[in-house]
Amino acid sequence: MKTIFVVDDCNVNLKAADDSLSSSYNVFTLACASNMFDLLDNVMPDLILLDIMMPDIDGFEALKKLKNDKRYTEIPVIFMTGKNDAGAEALGYNMGAVDFISKPFSPSALLNRISTHL
């Protein structure tokens, strides 16, 4: 079973993602990017769903850190965002994100996007 990290500072989004994905994937829900980097020492995900606007390390900074570490460069990262901002989307793609999902997301759209990238 493939492993997905869901990184979001909103418990409602973490629960929604876990409910949508846990029957098909091994899901780790993480409330901040710092927790994600701690877990990466022990678990290698097949895909990361990453919120952009978070208090400790935002999604852009987390993606930059992932892409600058050769151990993690091949992990597909899908940004999850409540912001509908073309500039942020362009920046994310330029930094190496593979996709964007708008919040709130529909479970079927989330599953389809993930299966596309896995």
Q: Are 26 and 49 in contact (CB under 8 A)?
A: no
Q: What is the structure's pLDDT at 86?
A: 83
Q: What is the structure's pLDDT at 12?
A: 94
CA dist., res. 35 & res. 83, Å (int):
23
Q: What residues pair up with 81 in beta bridges, in sequence order?
A: 102
Given a cut of 90, whether residue 42 has pLDDT beyond it is: yes
The residues spanned by each domain of the chain are 3-113
- Model confidence pLDDT, tens digit, residues 60-88: 999 999 999 999 999 999 999 887 778 88
Q: Are 57 and 35 in contact (CB under 8 A)?
A: no
Give domain 3-113's CATH superfamily. Answer: Response regulator (3.40.50.2300)
This prediction's pTM? 0.95
- Model confidence pLDDT, tens digit, residues 43-59: 999 999 999 999 889 99
